[in-house]
């Protein structure tokens, strides 16, 4: 009776773990920081914190011509 060998399989697991570790390291290098903004609530002493992320607003005519636009936080 032949018993299966698992030597190749375990080395494959190590390679997969290395690849996952590299992907995680790459993801950490590519992180983008965004501002955390504190807004005061009028008439109270309370505030609200929001993470401000990139966004673009546009006002267009029905024909598609852009009349106004604003971008929040550069992409």
Residue 30 lies in a domain: yes
Residue 2 lies in a domain: no
The full 3-state SS of 5-65, as one line of letters, equals CCHHHHHHHHHHHHHHHHHHHHHHHCCCCCCEEEEECCCCCCEEEEECCCEEEEEECCCCC
Taking only the tens place, the pLDDT of each residue in 16-49 is 666 666 776 776 777 788 889 999 999 999 999 9
Q: Which domain holds residue 40?
A: 7-72
pLDDT for 48 equals 95
pLDDT at 8 over 80: no
Residue 1 lies in a domain: no
What is the value of pTM for the model shown?
Answer: 0.41
How many domains does the structure of the chain reveal?
A: 1
Residue 60 lies in a domain: yes
């Amino acid at each position: 009776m032949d018993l299966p060998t698992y030597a190749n399989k375990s080395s494959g697991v190590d390679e997969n773990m290395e690849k996952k570790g590299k992907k995680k390291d790459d993801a950490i290098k590519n992180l983008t920081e965004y501002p955390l903004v504190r807004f005061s609530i009028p008439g109270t002493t309370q505030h609200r914190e929001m993470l401000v992320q990139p966004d673009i607003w546009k006002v267009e005519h029905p024909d598609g011509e852009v009349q106004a636009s604003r971008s929040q936080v550069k992409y």
